[in-house]
Amino acid sequence: MPMAAVEPRRVAMISVHTSPLEQPGTGDAGGLNVYVAETARELAARGIEVDIFTRRTTGETPVEADLVPGVRVRHVTAGPYEGLAKEDLPGQLCAFSAGIMQAGLSVPEDHYDLVHSHYWLSGQVGWLAADRWRVALVHTMHTMARVKNLHLADGDPPEPRGREIGEVQVVEAADRLIANTDDEARELIELYAAPPAKVSVVPPGVDLTTFTPGDRREARRALGLPVDGELLLFVGRIQPLKAPDVLLRVAGELLRRDPARRERLTVAVLGGPSGSGLTRPHELEELARGLGIDDVVRFVRPVARPVLAQWYRAADLVLVPSHSESFGLVAIEAQACGTPVVAAHVGGLPTAVGDAGVLVDGHATPAWADAVESLLRDDRRRLALGSAAVSHAAQFGWGATTDRLLEVYQQAIRERANGTNESPIDEGQSLVGVPTAVIP
């Protein structure tokens, strides 16, 4: 007889390099921040306490802060507050781990029921914390070095060998691995030799109360944009991996094909420099000038989520041209607002976009311009895709994500208590010839 479900009472989440309190869209803050914050909120709504451990990056940052009741963000001092890039943080993992161990001394030994680490740096720390507290370790990669290195943008440096080694160690140490999509599960198995029975597919979600359909003209008025005309939008961190240059090149090609379009076209890039983009912070502005389109391009700093939703509603199309994407929260947010997405056919974007958008193979400007131009010309198809997008996004609420996540937590706790490796929750499709744990 299987053991009864073991509901966690307290969960320690670890996000070393970026805090859920930070504004997504610049620096190292992005989809991971949203994932951690939203799942923690949902867990707290179910009566599960969550402590999120992250690195302190300013002297003004409080040692502890409540995200919502039941979710406490604990800032750990590890290295200088400022001036450390994500690539420098492996040298601070010992200090960060010591800070977590020190925090653990203030609570009973059995305080935490499970550790959930996010990104490989956190996985290294989570490995130690879970071992020290004798609890299960659940890990979400979010991105993987070997996957990114297979899909590098031109001029983007490869991820270092040290990260690959660290990721392999986390895969071996974790009791459970969370993949966003079936493709990511396959990559964990094929590229990292993850045991299939340890891998569970749990798609991320979208805030369906904030990202909702609305009147496009009213959204444009609220943002001070031309009410009529065409608006193409990119949202995300400005770095080669996210390929925002594709949007500018597409705009240049559209204007070359139809110079009269300049009177009605607006191109918006919403985000801030990140990663290798920090070394060339003005590259996109220079590209816009070089293409002769700087008069139609607007560069917008990251904004709060309600305002971001207005940008999605205002756009005719949202472009997500990333070279690698584990899921693509921007795509699902845009679709929840009723805006069709044109996305690269990579990583988790086919899952995020589904049949409610257009996927483009490669990053060649003519192919992207053809896809965008055909949708701008066909109002009926674009509106139909927008309607389908809302229905598609409705499947991905954070509540559903957290329900599935809790099943993985319960299984990891049971396995740790039994000292066994249970069969998958549900036998999903065969990946490289063997079943993977797929949460339906």
Whether 20 and 66 have beta carbons less than 8 Å apart is answered as no
Q: Residue 359 is encoded by which pair of tokens?
A: 């996927």
Find out whether 192 is annotated in a ligand binding site: no
- C-alpha 2/C-alpha 12 separation (Å) is 26
Coil, helix or strand at residue 393: helix
Find out whether 74 is annotated in a ligand binding site: no
Per-residue burial over 381-391, b if 16 or more Cβ lie within 10 Å, else e, is ebeebbebbbe
Find out whether 39 is annotated in a ligand binding site: no
Find out whether 35 is annotated in a ligand binding site: no
Find out whether 239 is annotated in a ligand binding site: no
Find out whether 17 is annotated in a ligand binding site: yes
Find out whether 198 is annotated in a ligand binding site: no
Beta strand pairing call for 176-179 and 10-14: unpaired
Whether 338 and 382 have beta carbons less than 8 Å apart is answered as no
Find out whether 333 is annotated in a ligand binding site: yes
Find out whether 149 is annotated in a ligand binding site: no
Find out whether 31 is annotated in a ligand binding site: yes
Among 184, 188, 159, smallest CA distance to 174 is for 188
Find out whether 46 is annotated in a ligand binding site: no
Instruction: Name the residue type at position 242.
Output: K
Find out whether 242 is annotated in a ligand binding site: yes
- C-alpha 318/C-alpha 231 separation (Å) is 9
Find out whether 306 is annotated in a ligand binding site: no
Return all residues near 378 (Cβ < 8 A) that are at least 6 apart: none
Find out whether 140 is annotated in a ligand binding site: no
Find out whether 112 is annotated in a ligand binding site: no
Exposed, middle or buried by CB within 10 Å (0-12, 13-18, 19+), for 34? Answer: buried
Find out whether 139 is annotated in a ligand binding site: no
Secondary structure (DSSP) of 257-315 = H-GGGGGTEEEEEE--B-GGGGGSTTHHHHHHHHHT-TTTEEEE----HHHHHHHHHH-
User: Taking the CB of residue 141, how many other CB atoms lie within 10 A of it?
Assistant: 26
Coil, helix or strand at residue 298: strand
Annotated binding site for 1D-myo-inositol 3-phosphate: 17, 28-33, 86, 119, 143, 163
Binding site for UDP-N-acetyl-alpha-D-glucosamine, residues?
Answer: 23-24, 31, 237, 242, 303, 325, 333
Residue list, annotated binding site for Mg(2+): 312-313, 315, 339
Binding site per annotation, positions: 17, 23-24, 28-33, 86, 119, 143, 163, 237, 242, 303, 312-313, 315, 325, 333, 339
